A = this chain, B = another copy of it.
C-alpha cells in the first residue's frame, strides 16, 4: 500500500499488528477514527495507554484487576472456600457471564503443553497449592479445555493436591444443549454415557 501521509501509514501499521487485523481492515479502522470526534479518539488513545500501565493481576488468583486483590477475591458474599481453576481470563469472563458460580477463581495462565514449551513452572500452579493450604479451601473445581493438555494439567495438579483435605472436581463433559447426538464426537458421547446422571438430578439442575 502507498500512503500519502506518514502518520496515516504508521497508524495503519500499528493497527495491523493486532491479531486478525490486516492492512485493509487497519486502514478502515483508522479512516473511521478520523471521522470521529477528537475528544472521543483521545479517550480511546488514553484508555489503551492506561490499560497496559495500570491493570494489575490479582495477587491471590492471577485474574485481571484494578487493585492488588481482585473484586471477586475480596467479595465477602462469594464462597472463598471454593476455587474454580481456569486457563485464562476469557474463561473467567465466560463463567461469570453464566451468573451461576458464586465461588472464586484461579487463573493458571495456560495448560501444561510440553510441545509448546509450557511446563508446570510457567503456570501459576504453586500459587494454587499454596492458596489451598493457606485458605483451607474446601473444593477445587477444574474448568479446563477438554484436551489432552487440559487433562494432563488436571492430573498433575490433582496429584499435588492429593495430600490436602480438599475435594477436587471437574466440570461435566457431555452433549451440549441444542447439540445433536449423531454429530457428537465419539469421545464426548462415550464420556457422557460413562458419567450418566439419575434423571432426578438432571431435571433439578435445569
**Which A residues have a C-beta under 8 Å from some C-beta of B?**
1-8, 10-11, 14, 17-21, 25, 27-34, 36, 38, 41-55, 58, 63-66, 70-72, 88-90, 92-93, 96-97, 99
CA distance A7 to B56 in the complex (A): 10
Q: Is the CB of B28 within 8 A of A63?
A: no
Contact A52-B25, Cβ < 8 Å, known A14-B47, A46-B45, A96-B4: no
Q: Is the CB of B96 within 8 A of A2?
A: yes
Q: Is the CB of A11 within 8 A of B64?
A: no
| B residues near A5, Cβ cutoff 8 Å | 55, 64-66, 70-71
- Interface of chain A, main secondary structure: helix
Q: Is the CB of B93 within 8 A of A11?
A: no
| B residues near A58, Cβ cutoff 8 Å | 4
What are 30 A-B residue pairs whose CB atoms fall within 8 Å in the complex?
A1-B93, A4-B58, A4-B64, A4-B65, A4-B70, A5-B55, A5-B64, A5-B70, A6-B66, A7-B51, A8-B64, A11-B50, A14-B43, A14-B48, A17-B44, A18-B32, A18-B33, A19-B29, A20-B28, A27-B90, A33-B48, A33-B51, A41-B48, A41-B52, A42-B52, A42-B53, A44-B48, A45-B45, A45-B48, A46-B49
